[in-house]
């Protein structure tokens, strides 16, 4: 059986090869997307690692002034 002078078997095998290549490219794109979406978020808590009592000794005042929960109560969160 011919399709414009080209055997039909060759056309089907070409389509199969194109589909295989398309699946490979799609797989690579999916893996690249998954790897690029790995993001590490830093919440910035490293700057406030000093305990409230130590902050009181260094800067003066009450330890409540430097405790995170007490600061939230006063600043209107």
Condensed to tens digits (0 to 9), the pLDDT of residues 1-29 reads: 556 666 666 677 788 888 999 999 999 99
Cα–Cα distance measured from residue 49 to residue 71, given in angstroms and rounded to the nearest whole number: 15
Judged by average pLDDT, the poorest of 8-17, 40-49, 59-68 is 40-49
Could you tell me the pTM of the whole model?
Answer: 0.41
Structural contact between residues 56 and 65, judged by C-beta atoms closer than 8 angstroms:
yes
At residue 2, φ and ψ (nearest 5 deg) are: -115, 150
Neighbours of 7 (CB within 10 A): 11
């Amino acid at each position: 059986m011919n399709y414009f002078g080209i055997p039909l078997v060759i056309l089907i095998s070409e389509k199969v090869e194109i589909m295989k290549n398309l699946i490979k490219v799609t797989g690579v794109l999916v893996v690249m997307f998954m790897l690029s979406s790995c993001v590490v978020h830093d919440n910035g808590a490293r700057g406030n690692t000093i305990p409230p009592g130590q902050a009181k000794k260094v800067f003066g005042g009450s330890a409540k002034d430097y405790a995170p929960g007490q600061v939230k109560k006063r600043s209107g969160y």
